[in-house]
C-alpha cells in the first residue's frame, strides 16, 4: 500500500516513468476524484504490443515504485495471460492492456465523465 509520505502525484509520475522505460504506448490518466462511487482516485491506462511487453511494463512499474517509494501494489491481476493486467496501488489503479483488449473493453468510455490527460511520449 502507498506510504503516507508518497503523494498520488509522485506515484503517478513514477508509474509513468516505468511505462516509458519500456516504451508503453497511449498513456492516459483518468482523474476520478470528482465522480461519485469510484474505487480509487486515478486510473492510469496504457498498452503494450504483446504479452511480453505487457509483462515488461508491469515489471518496470513494480521495480520503479518499489525502489523510489518502497511500495508494492496491494493487488495485481491478469499477469498469467498478460492481455490486461491490473495493478492496484489503492488510490491509483494501473491498467496495462494489449491494444485489441483495450479497444474491446474501452474503459475510457465507461469513465467518460472523468478528467482525461493524455501523456505525450517522445518515442
Set of cell numbers at residue 75: 493487488
- Asked if pLDDT for residue 20 goes beyond 50, the answer is yes
48 within domain boundaries: yes
Provide the number of structural domains found in the chain. Answer: 1
Q: At a CB cut-off of 8 Å and minimum separation 6, what does 18 contact?
A: 57, 60, 61, 62, 63, 64, 65
Assigned domain for 43 exists: yes
Tens-place pLDDT, residues 64-75: 999 999 999 999
Q: 99 pLDDT exceeds 60?
A: yes
| φ, ψ of residue 102 in degrees (nearest 5) | -60, -45
Instruction: Label residue 6 by pLDDT band (50, 70, 90).
Output: confident
CATH at residue 14: 3.30.460.10
Q: What domain range is 61 assigned to?
A: 8-112
Element (H, E) at 108: helix 107-110
Residue 60 lies in a domain: yes
Nearby residues of 83 by Cβ (< 8 Å), 6 or more positions away: 51, 54, 97, 98, 101
In a domain, 121, yes or no: no
Amino acid at each position: 500500500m502507498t506510504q503516507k509520505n508518497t503523494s498520488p502525484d509522485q506515484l503517478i509520475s513514477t508509474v509513468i516513468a516505468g511505462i516509458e522505460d519500456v516504451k508503453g504506448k497511449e498513456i492516459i490518466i483518468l482523474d476520478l476524484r470528482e465522480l461519485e462511487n469510484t474505487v480509487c482516485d486515478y486510473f492510469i491506462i496504457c498498452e503494450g504490443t504483446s504479452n511480453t511487453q505487457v509483462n515488461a511494463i508491469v515489471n518496470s512499474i513494480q521495480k520503479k515504485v518499489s525502489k523510489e517509494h518502497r511500495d508494492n501494489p496491494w493487488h495485481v491481476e491478469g499477469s498469467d495471460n498478460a492481455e490486461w493486467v491490473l495493478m492496484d496501488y489503492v488510490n491509483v489503479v494501473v491498467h496495462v492492456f494489449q491494444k485489441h483488449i483495450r479497444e474491446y473493453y474501452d474503459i475510457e468510455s465507461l469513465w467518460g465523465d472523468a478528467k482525461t490527460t493524455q501523456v505525450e511520449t517522445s518515442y
